[in-house]
């Protein structure tokens, strides 16, 4: 199997990152983990995503079996996106990411204060004399 004309990486982590590449991919999956959604619902939930990016990611997910796209014969047409079993299998992955992120200290981006060495290495700082 290929992805964008190149063979899939052999490493499972590399395949995961290839498929869920880009700043919005994981967040789209996160939104679909709450249930089926229409395009506009996804766009509204993901403040700042362009329609172009959302369309491309959803097409990629559909191509690789993570998402189904159901078109209802209504006027106006209604299109609903939903995770497949393979997409739903990402739930524990995203839950693990969320659990891990809760352990990471917040960094004040405005002041760009670096983390103390003890936060990075786990070492304790020497007591002041």
- Per residue in 14-40, pLDDT (tens digit) is 888 888 988 899 999 999 999 999 999
HSE of 19 in the Cβ direction (CA atoms, 13 Å)? 21
Average pLDDT over the chain, rounded to an integer: 83
Q: What is the mean pLDDT of residues 71-84?
A: 93
pTM comes to 0.75
Mean pLDDT, to the nearest integer, of 88-99?
92
In the CATH hierarchy, which top-level class contains the domain 24-94?
A: mainly alpha
For the chain, give every domain's residue range: 24-94
CA distance linking residue 59 with residue 108, whole number of Å: 36
Check whether 125 has a pLDDT greater than 60.
no
The confidence score (pLDDT) of residue 65 equals: 94
Q: Which residues contact 30 (CB under 8 A, 6 or more apart)?
A: 94
């Amino acid at each position: 199997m290929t992805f964008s004309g190149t063979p899939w990486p052999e490493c499972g982590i590399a395949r995961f990152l290839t498929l869920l590449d880009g700043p919005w991919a994981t967040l789209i999956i996160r939104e679909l983990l709450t249930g089926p959604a229409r395009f506009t619902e996804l766009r509204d939930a993901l403040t700042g995503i362009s329609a172009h990016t959302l369309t491309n990611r959803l097409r990629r997910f559909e191509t690789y079996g993570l998402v189904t796209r159901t078109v209802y014969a209504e006027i106006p047409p209604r299109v609903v996106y939903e995770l497949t079993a393979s997409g739903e299998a990402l739930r524990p992955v995203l839950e693990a990411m969320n659990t891990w992120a809760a352990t990471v200290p917040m960094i004040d981006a405005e002041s760009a204060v670096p983390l103390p060495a003890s936060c990075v290495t786990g070492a304790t700082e020497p007591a002041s004399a």
